[in-house]
């Protein structure tokens, strides 16, 4: 897990050395253990270090270890890569990046983990390749040399990397299947550039810290951020999950190629529930085993819900030892999950640590939180995850296992119930649909009323009536206004939309930024194990919700590692915060900051006209407040 950046000049338009150094410094938090650069002149590629670097190397036989200073003026470079290292696998000099092939014709800067790297190395060794390191980075580079761009289909893991192929005169970049690891790029008439975080472009003066009106409209009106190719920062694009990018140095063009897309099949529909549960259990255990491969200790995030509790239980079963677990608590709150987390921690004899975020700390650290995310946040729950990752760092844990993605695979949200009910009714199975609605009462308060409300939300934006309080008419009409809910005809189609277009994409960005701000790698088996993902879309999605119980298959597959009290709970929380309680005392502060933000699409706000007991108004006020803070930290 690291930070990556690169620049390829199309014409001499900037100081490439200064720019790449600034980019690397901007993402130092992603890799505090080391730094490396390469400069490409066309005739040769030179590994470099900054002149003020304190790094020393003991191995003399590795061509990719730096021997010259980045600032040396004698080489006229058109290409530069940077790497910030968080040492997790192969902690020696051999794991240094950017790394090259033995013939020095291909170079890589890589962020992520390829969990099946041991098996792939063996396959490549059998094909005649030799290795000088124990790192997964060298496996990627060798896999590219052997299989070309098709190599990514072999990988099980999370990744964002760029390979400079000097022979083919291309830069080949790739991003993992569901987008656990970030990859952003800027393509102008003067240069092509990429980075793990958008702030790297800002700090190198490659872009201005501006957002487009379209981005602001999507965030404020529709509650969406960076769902398309164009990003919140004007001029920045995102390489979508499951895609490769090829930049032709000769033609100065960018080409995007898809290498993976989830396919909904019925491959395993003939399996009984018990057979399916056994298959899921076996895959989960293997997925966790792979994600425990590390040369440093691995901990876990624990909320007390099914997802994180299951992973903690499997970790304990696999390792048979006490593991580090971290959670956030909110005592005296109705949604506090501390008790359930305590139960899990006790059952696995965890080294267990808690943090209790406070509104005072939230306000104090808000600017750092917003800066860490690169983009405005939706609510205060991001801060809870931010503090959990900080807690892990305080206990010298570099790697944590987390449950992000389970809801989107196994059907964990309330709107997944609606998709099942809708599917049953469309098939004329009204009695079965009614029984499913009624049995959902153990999870959803008054499920019939919930269903009616959701049907209404599917045809309107429930916040629309509040927009005129905050925004000018021109801004409201400047873009599309989405309905509050969108429902598909099947559960799996609904889950797929959550994965590809809305929820998971955003949650994974938050996961990455919160962890990497504190130099902590987050591993998410539910979001990056390709075998598990494909398995979960190989049968009728209605089976994921049974007798009113969400994530039925996950619950049953992990029953043997869950305490009974957690197995039998049906509510859903996560790292939540008491948002309304925190924000009501900040009402005057938020309004004052918004009124002085200078945004011409925002009306002057009157405190008497805003009621924070109204959830829609609370969220709109908060988002405007955060947008102002975003402007402050990036200006």
Tens digits of residue pLDDT in 558-576: 999 999 999 998 876 655 5
Q: What percent of the chain has pLDDT over 90?
A: 81
Q: What is the pLDDT of residue 332?
A: 73
DSSP state, 466?
Answer: G
DSSP string, 5-61: EEEEESSS-S-HHHHHHHHHHHTGGG-BTEEEEEEE-SS-EEEEE-TT-------SS
pLDDT of 473 > 90? The answer is yes
What value does the CA radius of gyration of the chain take, rounded to a whole number of Å?
A: 25
Q: What is the pLDDT of residue 483?
A: 66
> Which active-site residues does the annotation give?
2
Average pLDDT over residues 534-550: 96
Spatial separation of the C-alpha atoms in residues 254 and 188, rounded to whole Å? 11
Q: What is the pLDDT of residue 334?
A: 67
Q: What is the pLDDT of residue 471?
A: 94
- For the entire predicted model, the pTM comes to 0.95
pLDDT of 356 > 70? The answer is yes
Q: What is the pLDDT of residues 432-467, one digit of tens each?
A: 998 989 999 888 888 888 877 777 666 666 567 889
Q: What percent of the chain has pLDDT over 70?
A: 96
**Cβ density class 33-63: b for 16+ within 10 Å, e for less:** ebbbbbbbeeeebbbbbbeeeeeeeeeeebe
Is residue 299 classed as helix, strand or coil in its secondary structure? Answer: strand
Among 10, 100, 26, 27, smallest CA distance to 61 is for 100
Q: What is the pLDDT of residue 481?
A: 80
Residue range(s) in the chain whose domain bears CATH number 3.40.50.620: 273-410+490-567
**Cβ density class 574-585: b for 16+ within 10 Å, e for less:** bbbbbbeebbee
For β-strands 191-195 and 243-248, DSSP reports them as unpaired
The domain made up of 2-110+157-258 is a member of CATH 3.60.20.10: yes
Spatial separation of the C-alpha atoms in residues 278 and 258, rounded to whole Å? 32
Q: What is the pLDDT of residue 515?
A: 98
Average pLDDT over the chain, rounded to an integer: 93
Q: What is the pLDDT of residues 238-257, one digit of tens each?
A: 999 999 999 999 999 999 99
Residue range(s) in the chain whose domain bears CATH number 3.60.20.10: 2-110+157-258
Question: Which listed CATH number (3.90.650.10, 3.40.47.10, 3.40.50.620, 3.30.70.1290) goes with 273-410+490-567?
Answer: 3.40.50.620
C-beta of residue 626 within 8 angstroms of C-beta of residue 376: yes
Q: What are phi and psi of 267, to 5 degrees?
A: -55, -40
Is residue 173 classed as helix, strand or coil in its secondary structure? Answer: strand
């Amino acid at each position: 897990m690291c930070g990556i950046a690169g620049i390829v000049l199309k014409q001499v338009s900037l100081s490439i050395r200064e720019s790449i150094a600034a980019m690397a410094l901007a993402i130092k938090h992603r890799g505090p253990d080391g730094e490396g650069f390469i400069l490409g002149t066309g005739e040769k590629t030179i590994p470099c270090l900054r002149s003020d670097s304190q790094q020393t190397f003991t191995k003399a036989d590795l061509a990719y270890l730096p021997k010259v200073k980045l600032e040396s003026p004698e080489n006229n470079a058109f290409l530069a890569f940077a790497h910030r290292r968080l040492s997790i696998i192969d902690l020696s000099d051999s794991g240094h990046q950017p790394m090259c092939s033995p013939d020095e014709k291909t170079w890589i800067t890589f962020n992520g983990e390829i969990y099946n790297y041991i098996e792939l190395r063996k396959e490549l060794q059998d094909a005649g390749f030799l290795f000088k390191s124990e790192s997964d980075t060298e496996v990627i580079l060798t896999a590219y040399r052997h299989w070309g761009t098709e190599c990514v289909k072999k990988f099980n893991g999370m990744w964002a990397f760029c390979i400079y192929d000097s022979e083919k005169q291309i830069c080949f970049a790739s991003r993992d299947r569901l987008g656990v690891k970030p990859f952003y790029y800027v393509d102008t008439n003067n240069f092509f550039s990429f980075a793990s975080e958008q702030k790297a472009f800002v700090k190198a003066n490659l872009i201005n810290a501006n957002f487009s009106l379209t981005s602001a409209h999507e965030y404020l009106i529709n509650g969406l951020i960076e769902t398309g190719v164009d990003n919140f920062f004007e001029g920045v694009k995102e390489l979508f999950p499951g895609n490769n990018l090829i930049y032709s140095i000769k033609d100065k063009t960018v080409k995007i190629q898809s290498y993976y897309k989830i396919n909904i099949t019925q491959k395993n529909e003939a399996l009984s529930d018990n057979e399916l549960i056994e298959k899921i259990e076996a895959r989960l255990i293997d997925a966790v085993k792979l994600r425990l491969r590390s040369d440093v200790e691995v901990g876990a995030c624990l909320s007390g819900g099914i997802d994180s509790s299951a992973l903690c239980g499997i970790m304990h079963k696999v390792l048979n030892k006490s593991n580090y677990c971290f959670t956030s608590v909110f005592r005296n709150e109705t949604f506090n999950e501390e008790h359930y987390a305590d139960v899990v921690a006790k059952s696995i004899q965890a080294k267990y640590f808690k943090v209790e975020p406070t509104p005072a700390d939230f306000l104090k650290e808000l600017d750092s939180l917003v800066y860490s995310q690169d983009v405005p946040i939706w609510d205060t729950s991001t801060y809870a995850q931010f503090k959990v990752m900080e807690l892990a760092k305080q206990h010298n844990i570099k790697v944590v296992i987390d449950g992000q993605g389970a809801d989107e695979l196994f059907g964990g949200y309330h709107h997944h119930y609606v998709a099942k009910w809708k599917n049953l009714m469309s098939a004329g199975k009204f009695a079965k649909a009614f029984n499913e609605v009624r049995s959902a009462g153990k999870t959803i308060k008054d499920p019939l009323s919930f269903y009616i409300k959701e049907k209404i939300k599917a045809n309107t934006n429930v916040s629309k009536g509040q927009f005129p309080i905050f925004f000018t008419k021109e801004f409201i009409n400047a873009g599309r206004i989405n309905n509050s809910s969108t429902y598909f005809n099947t559960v799996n189609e609904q889950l797929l939309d959550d994965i590809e277009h809305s929820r998971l994409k955003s949650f994974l960005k938050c996961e990455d930024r919160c962890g990497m701000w504190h130099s902590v790698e987050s591993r998410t088996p539910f979001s990056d194990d390709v075998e598990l993902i494909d398995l979960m879309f190989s049968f009728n999605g209605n089976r994921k919700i049974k007798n009113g119980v969400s994530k039925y298959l996950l619950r049953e597959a992990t029953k043997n590692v869950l305490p009974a009290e957690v197995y039998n709970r049906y509510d859903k929380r996560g790292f939540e915060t008491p948002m309304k309680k925190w924000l009501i005392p900040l009402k005057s502060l938020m309004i004052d900051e918004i009124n002085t933000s200078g945004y011409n699409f925002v009306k002057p706000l009157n405190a008497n006209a805003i009621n924070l007991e109204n959830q829609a108004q609370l969220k709109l006020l908060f988002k405007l407040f955060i947008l102002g803070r975003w402007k402050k930290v990036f200006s």
